A and B are shown apart, each in its own frame.
Chain A
Amino acid sequence: MRLRSWLALLAAMALVAGACGDDSVSAPEGFQIGIVAPSATNDLAFTQSIVDAANVLAGDPEILISDGLFNIDDAGSAIRGYAADGVDLVIAHGSQYGGPLQEIAQDFPDTAFAWGTTNDTFGLSNVYAYEAASDEGGYVMGVMAAALTETNNIGIVGPIETGDAKLYVDGFEAGALSGGANVSKVYTGSFSDVALAKQAAEAFASQDVDVMSGTAQMVVGAVGVADTEGILWFGTQSNQAELGDIVVASQVYKWEVVLEDILSNIQDGVLGGQSYEINFENDGIVLEYNDAYDLPGDVESLAEETIDGIKDGSISTG
């Protein structure tokens, strides 16, 4: 009887300890993640966000990366190569990769794939989809931009009017408009043309714009103009603080929220069939301020209030 009591007590303690412990999922030994992405791993934007997320996963999974694959055929070859090599999770990080991914995923039913940014799993049981509510961070930073502008003119530089970029630009515009600012936006027509992004920023500078934002890899061209002209900048996808002290804040994607869940599912034998969204509510999106910029306290408070409003549903970003 006494032995049973001790065993029961030990079991209860084990349960409590398990409940109180770190609940992050750890990758099993030898787990491999293959990432196929369009731009460089350190682009301070889209590709870097997924690489950073994979690198913080517990258990030190082996991260294999094929970056700089703007060419969809090349990306398809890389995706197929990872699947054929037995990589446990193949991430096709680019909505443009949907065509080849749909075909390859059917050829490798025992391999888990993840595809973003989208919510479409093609109805396949081995494909996860993920996307970001980039309009949420865009909206908050738009509100901040309206509070910081002195000329009341704000400019936004986007690549192509689609997907994550459009969502962000629309969110930023809505936030800035809610603060009473004049907003101009431009889509350059290219994700990679840095010189064109620079021209767009120069155009904004000539129109007395004193706060700008933009999304995609080519915005470094616009940030250069902002730096020269003393125009404030808001970043997205990754923390862009190292681009200078004109960067006020950045919306940062924490894809690890998605990857941890996918990792857990794979270990439970579920290879796909679900879609995810990161947002403020699930901490998949966070706002990171640039320490080098002296942000007024009232603007920071306004940002935090707006985030709370988005979380509780009292503020709509649309």
Chain B
Amino acid sequence: MSEFFTEAVLIATIASGIRFGVPLLLAGLGEAYGQRSGVLNLGVDGVMLLGAFGGYYTVLKSDNVWLGIAVGLAIGLVLGVISAFITVTLKAEQGISGIGIFLFGLGMSDLLFQRLVGTPRPIDTFPRLEIPLLRDIPWIGEMLFRQNVVVYLAFLAIPLSMFVVNRTTFGMKIRAVGENPEAADSLGVSVAKVRYGTMLIGGTLAGVAGAALAIDLGIFQQNITNAQGFIAIALVYFGAWRPFGVMLGALLYGFVNATVIQWKTLGIIPDSWSDIAAMAPAVITILALVVVATRFRAPSALTKPFERGE
């Protein structure tokens, strides 16, 4: 156990946990917007997969990671419109339509990869951005301030989201539509427009999350997200539908993953416990969810399509 508490290993574990949590954080934040307005989107993972392929392929062809992120964003935006059209305009059952989006993303991203790329080929990854002065702080500097730009942007999105949800008119409308769409409608708020807006934000962030994941890994592979989109949805519940809570969940999941892997490599977890240990992040998240579920309440209109005059 003493090997774990060395400077190099601890720093690497925490830095790795932060990076692992970033796609979860971005996708979870986007999903939180949707759920606060009453829309559950189970298709996050599918959007992430298509964003991941779009980002990967763009970087493969252009060697420009920012163009890759932009393409991931655009793909997410388009899928956000499609998701919104299905769930808001067509008033489809949200769970089923979300699964449909997921399956579409899973299949289409693999098909495009097979047809356009074939063999996994490495791409450029994000350059590391070291923040002057802050990077030199012992321990903290290396953990937090020697990351790539997307990590910083993801964490900047937390206060921004908190501001949007809690301090703006749009945020107030989101909360009103999620709690009581009939009352919001009677006050002149367009429930459809608000839900379209949150679905577009959610899709965009999921697309960026997927692109960021593939570019950070420097590779694309079939089902590269490995269900991270679904974990992100769980983290919205974990975070009690609040941006800060989602961030805590993403970081917890990332840290537990990184710690378990580090312990395995150091032999602290014996091989015979390896498979059990692999379940630790999910088990801890579920336990936390149970605690949260007893203390916080989901938006009242979550998963309920709005029908004027009902």
Q: Do A and B assemble together?
A: yes
Instruction: Mark each residue of chain B from 31 to 52: 1 if its CB lies under 8 Å from any CB of chain A, else 0.
Output: 0000000000000000000000
- Complex Cα gap A5–B223 (Å): 70
- List 20 A–B pairs whose Cβ atoms lie within 8 Å, in order of A's numbering: A42-B114, A161-B274, A186-B265, A187-B264, A187-B271, A188-B278, A192-B222, A192-B223, A192-B226, A199-B258, A202-B12, A203-B261, A203-B265, A205-B12, A206-B12, A207-B266, A220-B122, A220-B217, A220-B221, A224-B125
- On chain A, which size bracket covers the interface? 35 or more
CB contacts (< 8 Å) of B223 on chain A: these are 70, 192
In the complex, which residues 165-204 of chain B have their Cβ closer than 8 Å to any Cβ of chain A? none
Instruction: Mark each residue of chain B from 214 to 235: 1 if its CB lies under 8 Å from any CB of chain A, else 0.
Output: 0001110111101010000000
Other-chain contact of B9, A207, A228, A243 (Cβ < 8 Å)? A207
- Interface presence of A268 (CB below 8 A): no
CB contacts (< 8 Å) of A198 on chain B: these are 217
Interface of B is mostly: helix
- Interface presence of A204 (CB below 8 A): yes
CB contacts (< 8 Å) of A161 on chain B: these are 271, 274-275
Using known A-B contacts A205-B12, A224-B219, determine if residue A196 contacts B122 with beta carbons closer than 8 Å: no
CB contacts (< 8 Å) of A244 on chain B: these are 122
Using known A-B contacts A206-B12, A220-B120, A224-B219, determine if residue A187 contacts B274 with beta carbons closer than 8 Å: yes
Residue among A43, A195, A208 with most chain B CB within 10 A? A195
Using known A-B contacts A43-B120, A194-B226, A196-B261, determine if residue A221 contacts B217 with beta carbons closer than 8 Å: yes
Other-chain contact of A188, B9, B121, B261, B279 (Cβ < 8 Å)? B261
CB contacts (< 8 Å) of B274 on chain A: these are 161, 186-187, 189
CB contacts (< 8 Å) of B278 on chain A: these are 187-190
CB contacts (< 8 Å) of B113 on chain A: these are 40
- Interface presence of A242 (CB below 8 A): yes
- Interface presence of B83 (CB below 8 A): no
A199/B261 in contact, CB under 8 A:
yes
- Complex Cα gap A189–B281 (Å): 12
- Complex Cα gap A29–B228 (Å): 47
CB contacts (< 8 Å) of B27 on chain A: these are none
B218/A224 in contact, CB under 8 A:
yes
- Complex Cα gap A200–B217 (Å): 13
CB contacts (< 8 Å) of B279 on chain A: these are 189
- Interface presence of A27 (CB below 8 A): no
- Complex Cα gap A39–B279 (Å): 23
- Interface presence of B20 (CB below 8 A): yes
CB contacts (< 8 Å) of A243 on chain B: these are 120, 122
Other-chain contact of A195, B13, B222, B228 (Cβ < 8 Å)? B228
Q: How many Cβ-Cβ contacts under 8 Å join chain A to chain B?
A: 130
Instruction: Mark each residue of chain B from 108 to 145: 1 if its CB lies under 8 Å from any CB of chain A, else 0.
Output: 00100110001111100100000000000000000000
- Interface presence of B159 (CB below 8 A): no
Using known A-B contacts A186-B264, A207-B9, A221-B217, determine if residue A40 contacts B226 with beta carbons closer than 8 Å: no
A194/B275 in contact, CB under 8 A:
no
CB distance from B268 to the nearest CB of A (A): 11
CB distance from B19 to the nearest CB of A (A): 8
B221/A224 in contact, CB under 8 A:
no
A228/B275 in contact, CB under 8 A:
no
CB contacts (< 8 Å) of B9 on chain A: these are 203, 206-207
CB contacts (< 8 Å) of B275 on chain A: these are 160-161, 187, 189
- Interface presence of B262 (CB below 8 A): yes
Q: Nearest B residue to A158 by beta-carbon distance? A: B274
CB distance from A176 to the nearest CB of B (A): 15
CB distance from B214 to the nearest CB of A (A): 9
Q: B interface vs A, CB < 8 Å?
A: 3, 8-9, 11-13, 15-16, 20, 110, 113-114, 118-122, 125, 213, 217-219, 221-224, 226, 228, 257-258, 261-262, 264-267, 271, 274-275, 277-279
Other-chain contact of B257, A41, A199, A207, A218 (Cβ < 8 Å)? A199
CB distance from B148 to the nearest CB of A (A): 11
CB contacts (< 8 Å) of A202 on chain B: these are 12, 15-16, 258
B120/A227 in contact, CB under 8 A:
no
- Interface presence of A95 (CB below 8 A): no
A-B pairs, 8 with minimum CB distance: A189-B278, A206-B12, A224-B218, A42-B119, A186-B264, A193-B226, A203-B262, A203-B265
CB contacts (< 8 Å) of B125 on chain A: these are 224, 228
B20/A224 in contact, CB under 8 A:
no
CB contacts (< 8 Å) of B258 on chain A: these are 199, 202-203
CB contacts (< 8 Å) of B3 on chain A: these are 207
In the complex, which residues 31-50 of chain A have their Cβ closer than 8 Å to any Cβ of chain B? 39-44, 48
A184/B221 in contact, CB under 8 A:
no
Q: Nearest B residue to A40 by beta-carbon distance? A: B222
CB distance from A237 to the nearest CB of B (A): 13
Other-chain contact of A206, B11, B221, B277 (Cβ < 8 Å)? B11
- Complex Cα gap A187–B125 (Å): 25
A186/B222 in contact, CB under 8 A:
no
A204/B122 in contact, CB under 8 A:
no
B120/A42 in contact, CB under 8 A:
yes
A227/B122 in contact, CB under 8 A:
yes
- Interface presence of A211 (CB below 8 A): no
- Complex Cα gap A199–B271 (Å): 17
- Complex Cα gap A185–B274 (Å): 11
